[in-house]
């Protein structure tokens, strides 16, 4: 199974919310909506990465193998996630951060034909990314 498919399967799993952790329907439903938006963020980032990044699957695998973050890949090729405080609200943004970091690296490493950087600063990269992503993704993943 490709690393992209592993990541998609990881993001698509049910969050496992427990109503007893919330106390009322308003708080519970608010959290559910936010978690659903997190899945949309992941797919929006992944779609952009698929269009832009060469060898995306290899880059995701390499990133996860060398990562010391919460989401890694083990020797058996399986994803491992270390929960911080509450798995249902963390796991999808963790996957999105992986893809966002790869997108950022792709923009950062882009060169003109003469070898000069296309984007000189982080501000230049953010400006270019704003043409593809809305306020939410820019705020959470490229700020």
User: pLDDT tens digit string along 35-52?
Assistant: 999 999 999 999 999 999
Angle, vertex CA 126, rays to CA 120 and CA 128, nearest 5: 80
User: pLDDT tens digit string along 87-142?
Assistant: 999 999 999 999 999 999 999 999 999 999 999 999 999 999 999 999 999 999 99
CA distances in angstroms from 137 to 18, 23, 38, 141, listed in the order given: 27, 29, 9, 6
Contact (CB, 8 A) for 105 and 97: no
Q: How confident is the model at residue 53 (pLDDT cuts 50, 70, 90)?
A: very high
Contact (CB, 8 A) for 47 and 7: no
């Amino acid at each position: 199974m490709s690393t992209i498919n592993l990541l998609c399967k990881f993001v698509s799993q049910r969050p496992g919310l427990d109503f007893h952790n919330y106390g009322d329907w308003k708080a519970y439903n608010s959290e559910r909506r936010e978690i659903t938006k997190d899945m949309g963020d992941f797919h929006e980032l992944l779609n952009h990465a698929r269009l832009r990044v060469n060898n995306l699957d290899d880059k995701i695998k390499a990133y996860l193998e060398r990562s010391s973050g919460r989401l890694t890949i083990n020797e058996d090729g399986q994803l491992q996630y270390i929960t911080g405080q509450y798995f249902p609200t963390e796991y999808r943004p963790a996957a999105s951060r992986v893809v966002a970091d790869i997108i950022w690296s792709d923009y950062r490493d882009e060169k003109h034909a003469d070898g000069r950087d296309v984007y000189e600063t982080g501000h230049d990269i953010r400006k270019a990314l704003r043409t593809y992503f809305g306020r939410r993704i820019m705020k959470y993943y490229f700020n």
